[in-house]
Structure 1
Amino acid sequence: MTRFGYTLMTEQSDPRDLIRDAVRAEQAGFDFEVSSDHYFPWLDSQGHAPNAWVTLGAVAHATERVELYTYVTCPIMRYHPAVVAQQAATLGLISGGRFTLGLGAGENLNEHVVGRGWPPVNVRHEMFHEAVEIIRELFGGGYVNYKGEHFRVDSAKLWDIGDQPPKIGIAISGDQSAELAGTLGDVMIAVEPEAELCRLFDQHGGAGKPRVGQVPISWDPDKDKAIERAHDQFRWFAGGWKVNAEMPGTAGFAAATQFVTKDDVAENIPCGPDLDAHVQAVKEFVDAGFTDVAVVQIGGDTQPEFLDWAERELLLALKEL
């Protein structure tokens, strides 16, 4: 049976609201909650970017049942992988074993802040592979020494880690990342409803492991308002991930998407009150073979009303899938 999740989108809400919404989403009946981990919003109009780890620690304390994910953390520049492993182990304990560490190769938008420049994609993939190896070794509980092309670890050890360390989810977009996810990961993460990604994951050792997707929606009783909000805050998606990973700041995303129209957004994101349209967007992931699907409701100030609607209608319809 497919499980359905809720997205704590740090780019569009302050941490106090995120914690409030996390509690309400659990009450509404969502199975899990995923949190973005950004230093910047995609566009200035989103207006927020609190620290995901501090926020998730509070969410873990405030909730009781839902599983929690970073969706996703980049462990190659802004955080050293040894620090990510420590944060994840701590959050695993605080949450009572409900935390999965979602990892990805990151975006210039969030990683440039440490002043080291943004490496080319092949170097980033090398760094990411080493980072996952380090985190996996540290989750083993012993002392770790590691000397790679990009990272060194000197006698590191996690002193507070549960009997079962957090599961590792890895974001994939093609064969190379699918191989890493299948061999070193416990969970596949993707943002496109592509059956081919699931097939590649299975081919590289992922058969039987969860695969988690995410879909944006803009629910609102007023369709025009829903489209306006999605265009204002979510048109950044139009460049695709190969472009999005390279853009250095919100001004760049605004300029790159200045010719994306409201019609373009409405064709790609379900907008308005039509329950069937929102369910169909989720169903694409279910049909592609995803075991878990998280929804992103666009608009920070719409979350309370959205969660009431999700409890009344959306989740009931999704569980009929």
Structure 2
Amino acid sequence: MRIGYTLMTEQTGPRELVRGAAAAEEAGFDFEVCSDHYSPWLAEQGHAPYAWSVLGAVTQATARVELMTLVTCPTMRYHPAVVAQKAATVQLLSGGRFTLGLGSGENLNEHVVGRDWPAVSARHDRLAEAVQIIGGLFDGGVFSYAGDYFRVDAAKLWDLHSTRVPIAIAVSGARSVRRFAPVADAMVAVEPDASLCAQWDRTRLGPPTRKIGQLPVCWDPDRDAAVRRAHEQFRWFGGGWPVNAELPGTRAFAEATQYVREEDVAAGIPCGPDVEPIREAAARFAEAGFTDLALVQVGGAERQPGFLEFARQELLPALR
């Protein structure tokens, strides 16, 4: 399993994210993923810089690690033709190290453009069209498209790397796996669900591919402090995608999580100074069939240096 580091735009400002990316590469992580949000889930997180500007800077601050969005919604805030252009540019800037992670989005981020939030089936339909458009533009040449949701008129990406940008798609159940496994290069999911991995490999039109998971952790020398911070900033995590995708803003997330206790969060997120709880949680993803796992260190820029040193000295060797 390859171990990655998450650039959480919801809890850290842009300059600190770029410095953290360089430090994570130095610490020995294999890849880095970047969230793409217009808003944090909770006001306590306090940040939401533009992910694509951050990624552009990160391409120049790093030399080895693979980069990826986890994930971008290409259907409302962004038109898929523009997402294709952004991804192609990051691929060139990074020297072929970029993977475009896509998903059907969250109301939290997409409502800001003043459009109604569609039902999940319509969101999947929109995403399917977006993947066709992005892939068509990655093919090179002039591309046009007329679908139910999007139109593209004689578009062309003038700057393409010799390595085509791989597309990873976030899934949460059997329906989304059936829909997107045949058209994606990799799978993204946040639960260590072996059935998802098995169905993905069965449904793909080709050999098994990468399956990328994500695991929040809250490292701190003081476990009690880690639990408090995880509760303050990540209590939304236990709501699950079907709920989280529908909530429209930080106030809604605060209200939805007002009865979540510190012990509830600690039961789902490894907290404290020890390697073993993190190793056990990561092992569940490996046993489920995931090939890659991106870790999230809960907390802002001031919490990252200690975690990265811990990762370099103890965590990464233990996981490997």
Q: Name the TM tier (shorter chain).
A: over 0.9
**Local SS of the residue matching 1:219:** coil
Tell me which residue corresponds to 1:35.
34
**Local SS of the residue matching 1:12:** coil
Tell me which residue corresponds to 1:260.
260
Deviation (angstroms), 1:144:
1.1
1:108 aligns with 2:107: yes
Tell me which residue corresponds to 2:213.
213
Tell me which residue corresponds to 1:68.
67
Q: Deviations over 1:57-93 (max 9, x none)?
A: 0000110000000000000100000000000000000
- Contact 1:181–1:187, Cα closer than 8 Å, also in 2: no
Tell me which residue corresponds to 1:310.
311
Superposed CA RMSD = 0.8
1:188 aligns with 2:179: no
CA distance in 2, matches of 1:182, 1:119: 22
Deviation (angstroms), 1:183:
1.2
Quick one: percent identity of the two aligned structures? 61
Deviation (angstroms), 1:174:
1.6
Tell me which residue corresponds to 1:225.
225
CA distance in 1, matches of 2:308, 2:28: 10
Tell me which residue corresponds to 2:86.
87
The one-letter code matched in structure 2 to 1:145 is: S
Deviation (angstroms), 1:142:
1.6
1:280 aligns with 2:280: yes
Deviation (angstroms), 1:163:
1.2
Number of residue pairs matched by the alignment: 318
Structure 1 segment 123-142 matched on structure 2, within 5 A: 123-142=122-141
The one-letter code matched in structure 1 to 2:238 is: A
Deviation (angstroms), 1:180:
3.5
Deviation (angstroms), 1:259:
0.1
**Local SS of the residue matching 1:295:** strand
CA distance in 2, matches of 1:265, 1:287: 23
Deviation (angstroms), 1:179:
2.6
Tell me which residue corresponds to 2:174.
175
The one-letter code matched in structure 2 to 1:311 is: R
CA distance in 1, matches of 2:238, 2:283: 21
The one-letter code matched in structure 1 to 2:279 is: V
CA distance in 2, matches of 1:193, 1:308: 26
Q: Deviations over 1:19-75 (max 9, x none)?
A: 011000000000000000000000000000000000000000110000000000000
**Local SS of the residue matching 2:169:** strand
Tell me which residue corresponds to 1:17.
16
The one-letter code matched in structure 1 to 2:12 is: S
The one-letter code matched in structure 2 to 1:69 is: M
Tell me which residue corresponds to 1:117.
116
- Contact 2:128–2:180, Cα closer than 8 Å, also in 1: no
**Local SS of the residue matching 2:118:** coil
What TM-score do the two structures reach when normalised by structure 2? 0.98
CA distance in 1, matches of 2:15, 2:305: 13
**Local SS of the residue matching 1:246:** coil
What TM-score do the two structures reach when normalised by structure 1? 0.98
CA distance in 2, matches of 1:45, 1:305: 21
- Contact 2:201–2:207, Cα closer than 8 Å, also in 1: yes
CA distance in 1, matches of 2:189, 2:299: 22
Deviation (angstroms), 1:202:
0.8
CA distance in 2, matches of 1:175, 1:45: 34
- Contact 1:201–1:207, Cα closer than 8 Å, also in 2: no
CA distance in 1, matches of 2:48, 2:6: 14
CA distance in 1, matches of 2:296, 2:316: 14
- Contact 1:136–1:184, Cα closer than 8 Å, also in 2: no
Deviation (angstroms), 1:273:
1.0
Deviation (angstroms), 1:143:
1.2
- Contact 1:169–1:181, Cα closer than 8 Å, also in 2: no
Deviation (angstroms), 1:176:
2.6
- Contact 2:31–2:65, Cα closer than 8 Å, also in 1: yes
- Structure 2 stretches of 5 or more lacking a match? none
Deviation (angstroms), 1:175:
2.2
- Contact 2:107–2:247, Cα closer than 8 Å, also in 1: yes
The one-letter code matched in structure 1 to 2:125 is: E
- Contact 1:169–1:189, Cα closer than 8 Å, also in 2: yes
Deviation (angstroms), 1:203:
1.5
- Contact 2:60–2:94, Cα closer than 8 Å, also in 1: yes
Structure 1 segment 237-252 matched on structure 2, within 5 A: 237-252=237-252
Deviation (angstroms), 1:208:
2.1
Tell me which residue corresponds to 2:43.
44
Tell me which residue corresponds to 1:155.
154
